Amino acid sequence: MTRELVKFLQKIGVDTRFVSITEDKVYINNLKFSRFSRKKEELFKKSFPKVDVIRSKIFQKICMRASRNLAHCILPKEKIFLIKDDDPCSSALYVILEPYQRKYGIEIIFGRSKNEAENLNIDSIALPVTLDDESQNIIQLMIDGEKIELLSSKESYNDKKLIYPLINVPKSWIYSWTQNKLDNDLNQNYESAEDLLKFLESLVPNVRENLLKSALFISNEC
């Protein structure tokens, strides 16, 4: 089905490197570069009436931020392992990476945990670590008086490269796009850190982004 959708979209002039395609949905990652106009959508719906075309501005923002990392952390024809579970961030990660199969010729391989990747013929493991996960981690380490060590500083796992496409993406964007309730899924280990972050966010714009920048600066200096 996906191959059929790709062929038809290419036939009507849509650049499929900038849309994500699943069995029953087509997500527009970049409206300008995809050239997926309303007129082309009408043509598409005539042939595939049961497939929804999703024009989500928040999803396009997510893809734009993720692309900044993916541009320099993946290589053409890489085999990338993804964890398949009920976490909305894991689901988002697949939808974001899906067009890179056409853009970079990557292959996506699924498993239930990182451990499964150990004996597979893969090049890298994509982890769904978000900007919130990283900023909460930094705050918690500061509260505990421990050395600042970024979650995303881990470069490999059992000789497999680790990549973090969502590291610049707020979790609230993903939960808003997937229509999940963020408060019900907060990591309990970081509850006090999250409370502090919410307070800081009311005083300092982009506090999560700035925390990550500062931590990266410190880690590079060391």
Domains of the chain: 2-55 (3.30.70), 59-221 (3.40.50.620)
Per-residue pLDDT of 132-183, as tens digits, reads 998 888 887 776 767 778 888 899 998 899 999 999 999 999 999 988 655 5
Closest CA to 201 of 144, 128, 135, 134: 135
Lowest mean pLDDT among 20-34, 50-64, 146-160, 207-221: 207-221
Q: Helices (DSSP H) in 19-129: which residue ranges?
A: 31-34, 38-47, 57-73, 88-97, 100-103
Say what the pLDDT of residue 185 is.
42
Backbone φ, ψ for residue 73 (5° rounding): -110, -10
Give me the pLDDT at residue 187, please.
45
Q: State pTM to two decimals.
A: 0.81
Residues 119-135: pLDDT tens digits?
Answer: 899 999 999 999 999 88
Closest CA to 25 of 62, 59, 50, 44: 50
In the prediction, which pLDDT does 119 show? 84
CA gap 93, 86 in Å, rounded: 12
Percent of the chain with pLDDT over 70: 89
